[in-house]
Amino acid sequence: MARTRAEYVDPTEPARPLTRCCDHEGCVAEGEFRAPRSRDKLNSYWWFCLEHVRAYNAAWNYYEGMSEAEIEADLRNDTVWQRPTWPLGWRLKMRDPLHILDDDDPDGSRHPRQRELTIEEKALAVFELDPPFTLVELKKRYKLLVKRHHPDANGGDKDSEERLKVINQAFALLKAKYFA
């Protein structure tokens, strides 16, 4: 292989500036400003003088010849710098053996946890009442439930006896809470 010699550069000689001529037909001014040749070749440039680059930019329309759908697709692609994207967020599948992060329930077997009712809410549910209510309404409802669930009226049924205990506790709680 033949050896080549490096070109000698004299450091005392001032550097020659590289100048380009304006690419506009018939213009001999210096082409200082670049402008893209086309939408498909954005890295290939025309070099214009100031007057002609202003005219070129005024007439330039990147989206000329594109349909609305193509423009929308190009804008969406521009928001991610023409890079591939992947879905983010809560729909991604992770290995979750305890199903702590599961939100989807395809077979309906899992239901979201409901908050536990307070003692007062349970007592109101026993009497099927919503505040505000009067002591007369509470006593009327109490008498109706006692007659319905009294063990003597139900032949000594143990379930009725337990239900009567719950009714008595709920009555005492609501009476103390709202009418003490």
Q: Show the domain range for 170.
A: 119-179
- How far is the C-alpha of 163 from the C-alpha of 146, rounded, in Å? 9
- Residue 138 lies inside a defined structural domain of this protein: yes
Could you report the average pLDDT of every consecutive run of 10 residues in the chain (180 residues)?
Answer: 68 72 92 92 92 95 92 89 75 67 58 78 91 91 92 85 93 90
Q: Which CATH number belongs to the domain containing residue 130 in this structure?
A: 1.10.287
Q: State the alpha helices, DSSP H only, in the chain.
A: 50-59, 68-78, 119-127, 135-149, 158-179
135 neighbors 145 (Cβ within 8 angstroms): no
pLDDT at 94: 66
Tally of domains within the chain: 2
- Residue 69 lies inside a defined structural domain of this protein: no
